[in-house]
Amino acid sequence: MLTAAGQQSLSSRILLVEDHEDTALVLARLLEGSGCRVKVAGNAEIALGLAAEESFDVVLCDIGLPEISGHELMRRMHQQYGLKGIALTGYASEQDVKIGESTGFEEYLVKPIDVAQLVCAIQRVMRA
């Protein structure tokens, strides 16, 4: 099935960790329009609670979270629950990407996020 934008429909369970409420709402709606089931966590504590209670295919995580970094959160979720992640960030230096790879992120996308690129990244992570 294709979405209105011509993208293949996804049937993924996504945990979206984003502390900026408007960004989280827009991304969640766009992903839901692509067939994803999305749970939104506004902070690391909520994200860890959801990961403990539910099963997710992919974690989309902002790096600049207020209480702990997205890197630390992903490291914990990868170690405790075996989750795969896609970093969503404004920080994209080579060093940032290397840190992300070492903490469980399989993809690293720079904000503003292009939805077509995000859908392709989710598909790659799910196939890996």
Q: Is residue 43 situated within a structural domain?
A: yes
What single letter denotes the amino acid at residue 23? T
Examine residue 120 and state whether it is found in any structural domain, yes or no. Answer: yes
Note the pLDDT tens digit of each residue in 84-121.
999 998 877 787 777 777 888 999 998 888 988 999 99
The per-residue pLDDT for 3 is 40
pLDDT exceeds cutoff 80 at 1 = no
pLDDT at 8: 55
Which structural domain, as residue segments, surrounds residue 21? 13-127
Let me know if residue 19 belongs to a domain. Answer: yes
Q: How far apart are CA 79 and CA 1, in angstroms?
A: 34
Report CA torsion sign: 60, 39, 43, 47: negative
Instruction: With respect to residue 45, please indicate whether it lies within any of the assigned structural domains.
Output: yes
CATH number for position 60: 3.40.50.2300
pLDDT for the residue numbered 99 = 78
* 50 within 8 A of 15, measured Cβ to Cβ: yes
Please give the tally of structural domains in the chain: 1
Give the tens place of pLDDT for each residue, 42-68: 999 999 999 999 999 999 999 999 899
